[in-house]
Amino acid sequence: MTESTLQIGVRESVPGVAVIDINGDITPTVEESLMEAYRECEHARMVVLNFERLEYLNSGGIGLLVTLLVRAQRHQQQLHAYGLSDHYRQIFEVTRLDDVIAIHDDEAGALSAAGGDHHG
């Protein structure tokens, strides 16, 4: 087992919107860190995943994102993401994650979606 190379930060960008800044790899070894970060967001109405510094995401990491999505839905939260490279954007499309996690080009786009109901 290699040591986790993930750093996660949680911040409130605007009231009711929590941003999880992801820096590194998302693999099954980081489950505890990712879920701990999510627990800090449970009060928010919207959770935004910042993938600008994502280095690696494997199938196990996608499984973690699905777990995160299920928890967000349980709390009636919207889940948004931004900063995905073209490669990972394609993976989100192929796995249909983009059907349930709104993908934006940047944080401003995600935050503008927080301002009102946004579909697509």
Give the tens place of pLDDT for each residue, 48-103.
Answer: 999 999 999 999 999 999 999 999 999 999 999 999 999 999 999 999 999 999 99
Rounded distance, CA 89 to CA 49, Å? 13
* Overall pTM > 0.95: no
Domains, the chain, ordered by start: 6-112 (3.30.750.24)
**Residue 39 exposure: Cα atoms within 13 Å on the Cβ side:** 6
Q: In what order do the strands lie in the sheet with 17-26?
A: 6-14, 17-26, 46-57, 78-82, 102-104
Rounded distance, CA 101 to CA 55, Å? 19
User: Cβ neighbours of residue 6 under 8 Å, at least 6 residues apart?
Assistant: 22, 23, 24, 25, 26, 30, 33, 34
